[in-house]
A and B are shown apart, each in its own frame.
Chain A
Amino acid sequence: MSGVLKTAQAGTLESGDIMITIASGPSDSGIVLELDSIVLAQYGKAISQTIRAVLTAQGITDVYIKAVDRGALDCTIKARTLTALGRAGAVLKEDLV
């Protein structure tokens, strides 16, 4: 499921954090991720994978995600992504329990 998401945001631009903005994309666009990071060269791939893994686990497709990373840890990245999804109106798996 994905449904139509509202545009939503979570996180900040402070050091050690990541700001995630999420909007619904055109159908069949898949997950379009745009990542900016101060450690793009070192961890760009790992950050993308973490974000994509959260989306896939939640069954989200056809979204546009903009992420501005300031050296966030994996747990922060997951938390910010989930919060942005929640604010966008996605029904998270945990909520269904």
Chain B
Amino acid sequence: MSTVMKKVDAVIVGFGWTGAIMAKELTEAGLNVVALERGPMQDTYPDGNYPQVIDELTYSVRKKLFQDVSKETVTIRHSVNDVALPNRQLGAFLPGNGVGGAGLHWSGVHFRVDPIELRIRSHYEERYGKNFIPKDMTIQDFGVSYEELEPFFDYAEKVFGTSGQAWTVNGQLVGEGRGGNPYAPDRSNPFPLESQKNTVSAQLFQKAANEVGYKPYNLPSANTSGPYTNPYGAQMGPCNFCGFCSGYVCYMYSKASPNVNILPALKPLPNFELRPDAHVIRVNLDSTKSKATGVTYIDALGREIEQPADLVILGAFQFHNVRLMLLSGIGKPYDPKTGEGVVGKNFAYQNMGTIKAYFDKEVHTNNFIGAGGNGVAIDDFNADNFDHGPHGFVGGSPMWVNQAGSRPIAGTSNPPGTPAWGSAWKKATADYYTHQVSMDAHGAHQSYRGNYLDLDPVYRDAYGQPLLRMTFDWQENDIKMNRFMMEKMGKIAEAMNPKAIALLGKKVGEHFNTASYQTTHLNGGAIMGTDPKTSALNRYLQSWDVHNVFVPGASAFPQGLGYNPTGLVAALTYWSARAIREQYLKNPGPLVQA
């Protein structure tokens, strides 16, 4: 039998970016809020203490801050005809664990969204005709526009303390010749901080991209270019490019995180409680199955605890949100055979390509210097900034040098053909470690009928619940786009005039490799939209089926973006919170009539 806790107004599952934003917004509205985080308490002190945090083996290699897969993981298969196997060691993606979630160890690339990607199906059908999108590609419009979200992008940047250069502000050109992105949509305000400095690698990319005729710009970064105080009174210090960014707690208070930017404002509140080591196993529904009564979780001692609440926010990582909906019976599970059902549908990822260029000793890229959000990019092939007509694929890709800091155990790389050990390896590693540039094509990934999430029939977690199963593989459109992007980025690499180049793109027929890191940008499975037949959530991230359950996160994206997802995740969370505060609390019920 569960111990039953005192009822609260709102319970939040997961304390990463979405959980922290919702906690702040709902406590501002006067609600009593409890946030349940399944991992431990974590903060800058002691988890990011200098110099202990400057430890590659403990953090990146043994994966200290990432999800504990000994307790729970996902299973993966390439098609419905395969038997799914557990992801026994983290590889392709690195979800977080503990207070701050992946927001504590992320890099900090902080984009908005290209407006056409919010209405991608409509846009492609308008420009290229109804037959351009492949039949099995299930991309959908988000159901919300850039104009509607602009104030929330703006506010999220202020909370994060984001560094960057606007192109236009309220229609006035401000960014030409200063690192602005000519493809960026209009903004209501400049970035809170100016762009960060550019590393030598980023400078090389900028020069080469200009030579090839592209339009390089400074990456928007949630690493501070100067001291900053956000609207919640949280203070940040200037980023010193320590090079221990992605995978680490920032010891400098320079990388935005829920812990640095939001938690300090929540801690003193009498109407907020953060309960770590609380692993939620289900959302409880009433007998009508149309209303949640709260959640049940396992505490640190293994006791089952029920937390009643009027409002339930699922703010866990993308695939945990989807799994909790499936485990709780919220929404109809997706069936790839019929295409019916919505929970688990439109699972999408990121379509990455990488090129490494190796230089002589007079080019000092000093790759140990780095900041996770920093760099120089081009958008000439992102979104629909070029004519897709002749190329026959859907999707775009920003390309960039984003030198986050590479460390010697996992971050050394040598020209193709170098042996993996012995004196030849040693010499190459000594010759190239500080003389190389790595650049990425960070491609959008589309959703398909056959890529989806459901519950695994065989494997279970430490609490006896079925693991989530991913059925996922690269499709023809993905390979086509990746090869196109690699060719375009190759021109930039060649213009740098390096000694050697390594091309790490996708080959025809290649399967998804679960062991090799790509990104942690997983999308979909509990998608937002305008029709309950094709989406799990309405445009305010409210469950169509259970009106007091809201599900913010990249799980709501109907497909992947060219840009990194966190900026849109944060903006959508503020957008959803505004709807809860201004509409839902006054009149609890569906915010959109089905």
Do A and B associate with each other?
no
Which chain B residues have a beta carbon within 8 Å of chain A's beta carbons? Answer: none
A residues near B (Cβ < 8 Å) are none
